[in-house]
């Protein structure tokens, strides 16, 4: 069964969706993390308008207590979002923007290998 990737971004990223699907992921594009499936990996391409506290709170709520969930935050401000990853038991990866599709593939696959 393919890994589910909830790809969250305010802007559409059709090329990225096709790329991720082309390497075998089941991608569910979303404009907001609210309502993201509670399975697989949440990949959030954050924007500058959203405050860090809101991002951290949203990621923590999505992860909850399900140890198999993972999140990847792509951000132009990784240092300011360190708190999102600080107490998530290694379930959050921060990637500095911009990011290439292959970097996301590597991050998702790396996280998938930790699930075993």
What does the domain layout of the chain look like in residue ranges? 4-113
- Superfamily grouping for domain 4-113: Response regulator (3.40.50.2300)
pLDDT digits (tens, 9 = 90+) for 23-63: 999 999 999 998 899 999 999 999 888 888 899 899 989 99
Between CA 16 and CA 46 the distance in angstroms is: 15
pTM of the model: 0.89
Of 15-19, 62-66, 79-83, which range is least confident? 79-83
4/26 Cα distance (integer angstroms): 5
pLDDT for position 109: 92
| Mean local confidence (pLDDT), 71-100 | 86
Q: In whole numbers, what is the pLDDT of the chain averaged over residues?
A: 89
CA distance linking residue 5 with residue 45, whole number of Å: 12
Q: Rounded to whole angstroms, how far apart are CA atoms 43 and 33?
A: 9
């Amino acid at each position: 069964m393919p890994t589910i990737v909830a790809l969250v971004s305010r802007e559409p990223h059709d090329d990225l969706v096709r790329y991720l699907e082309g390497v075998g992921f089941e991608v569910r594009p979303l404009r907001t993390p609210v309502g993201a499936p509670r399975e697989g990996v949440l990949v959030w391409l954050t924007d500058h308008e959203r405050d860090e506290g809101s991002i951290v709170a949203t990621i923590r709520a999505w992860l909850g207590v399900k140890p198999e969930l993972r999140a990847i935050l792509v951000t132009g401000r990784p240092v300011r979002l360190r708190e999102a990853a600080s107490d998530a038991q290694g379930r959050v990866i921060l990637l500095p923007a911009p990011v290439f599709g292959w970097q996301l593939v590597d991050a998702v696959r790396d996280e998938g290998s930790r699930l075993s």
